[in-house]
Each structure stands twice: as structure tokens, then as C-alpha cells.
Amino acid sequence: MRIAKFIVQDKVSWGVVDGPEVVVFRGHPIFQGYETTGERVPLKDVQLLPPVLPTSKIICIGKNYADHAAEMGGDLPPEPLIFIKPLTTVIGPGEAIVLPKISERVDHEGELAIVIGQVAKNVSEDKALDYVWGFTIANDVTARDIQNKDVQWTRAKSFDTFCPLGPWVETEFVVDGQMLETRVDGEVRQHASIDLLIHKVPKIIQHVSQAMTLLPGDVILTGTPAGIGQIESGQSVEITVEGIGSLTNPVF
């Protein structure tokens, strides 16, 4: 089931994508369930929004593919490496990634993202998937020169528009070797199986929930494969995960 958040006729709604249409839910599906109003809206007529709640946390896992860890330098992290992006980084499909004037190199990082469906604290690895609502696609946009200068990552990862999410939440997605691909103006930059994650989804959820309570709608970015690269004004970044769809954002 593909769950979308969207604007139609100046109203924010949630719905299920059914081919070329969106069937509108009566409320938020996590809290009010999947009852629909019966209204159907052409997908082409809606503006898709980031499929998260405005109160969500954006938690990220760094260096979680061996080839990316190698291109970044340093050792592989023995456990999931956590950092957080603020909510002001979040944008939806089609919205622009805005390059900050104080950075001379901004990179794309295509990632699979977990969306949490219920309160999770100190969950076990074998029960972790019970707390997942679904999966979406993320771009962990990074000011690489600032990351290198600051050593720690907060400022480089936190500029407004630096976390595109979407196009929807796929509730039936099961991690099983699907390919993740990032293209810039059609050129393939990243192409890897998500099975190559060093720390798998259940381990990530267990580890993060030991440190903080996860709430419904919270998002966890699982890490990016090798092939990170600079993006420039006028370009377009498209990230595709098999079984979910594609997330596309222009760069300004």
C-alpha cells in the first residue's frame, strides 16, 4: 500500500495511491486507520508532500555501506552511527534543494528510509519490524566542505531543504535485495543493493530505540552507498528504490 500526503484544493490530506488516482483517507492512517471517504483524486492533480508528520524526528545512520565508508575514509563503525537532521531540512517531491551560499560543495546521498508506526523504546532486534509502518526514499543532502571542516556533521547536514523525502510510504515493502539508484540529470551516480547495508534495518531500530523513544511518524535514514557526488544549481536529482518509486528534486 502506497500512502501519500498531499495538497488538493488548498487542503492537506492523506490517501492511498491506486494507479493514477489517490483515494482520500478520513484522517491520518496511523491514528485513524485506513477508512476512506470514497473520494478519488487524480494523482496528477495533487501536490505530493513529504510523507511524514510535522513533529517527526529525522534520525540518520552514517557510513552504513562498506564502499561508502571507504570513499569517506576511516574504519567501519562497529555499531550504527547516529546523527539527526532538523525538521526544517524536510521537503517533498518536486521541491527545490537550495544550495547554501556558504558552501562550495553540496553532495547528494540517496537512501532508503524507515517510517516508524508505533511508539518504540528498547525494542529487541527480532521484534523491531513490528514497529515499522513502511519505507520511503530520502536524500541526505550534505555540505561536504563544511562537514570536512567541522569534523562533526550537524551543520553540514542541517541546512534548510537538505532532506527530501517521498514520494510516499510503501507499507508492504520488505527489504530483499532491491536496488537503490541515484541519477543526476539522468547520469547514474549511485547503484547498489540495499542488502549491502552493514547494519540491517532491525539492528538499526533496536540501536536507535535504546537511545531515544521513537514515535509514530519518525523517520530513520539507513545510510548511503558509494558514489556520492556534487550537485549544482540547475540540475535534477532522482533517487529510485525498487518497489517504492522515485523521488525527484531540482537544485537551485
Half-sphere exposure of 118 (CA within 13 A, CB side): 8
For residue 75, what pLDDT is reported?
82
Mean pLDDT of the chain: 96
pLDDT category, 18, cuts 50, 70, 90? Answer: very high
- Contact residues for 146 (Cβ-Cβ < 8 A; gap 6+): 102, 103, 155, 156
Which has more pLDDT, 9 or 134? 134
pLDDT at residue 216 tops 80: yes
For residue 73, what pLDDT is reported?
82
The cell for 162 is 537538505
Identify the structural domains of the chain with CATH numbers, from first to last.
2-49 (2.30.30.370), 58-250 (3.90.850.10)
For residue 8, what pLDDT is reported?
92
Q: What is the distance of C-alpha 73 from the center of its chain?
A: 24
Q: How far is CA 197 from CA 114, 136, 186, in A?
A: 13, 16, 25
For residue 81, what pLDDT is reported?
96
For residue 231, what pLDDT is reported?
98
Average pLDDT over residues 225-249: 98
The C-alpha atoms of residue 65 and residue 138 are separated, in whole angstroms, by: 16
Which pLDDT tens digit goes with each residue over 128-180? 999 999 999 999 999 999 999 998 999 999 999 999 999 999 999 999 999 99
For residue 113, what pLDDT is reported?
98
Average pLDDT over residues 118-134: 98
pLDDT category, 55, cuts 50, 70, 90? Answer: confident
Task: Determine which of 37-41, 66-70, 182-186 has the lowest per-residue pLDDT on average.
Answer: 66-70
Which pLDDT tens digit goes with each residue over 56-114? 799 999 999 999 999 988 788 999 999 999 999 999 999 999 999 999 999 999 999 99
pLDDT category, 33, cuts 50, 70, 90? Answer: very high
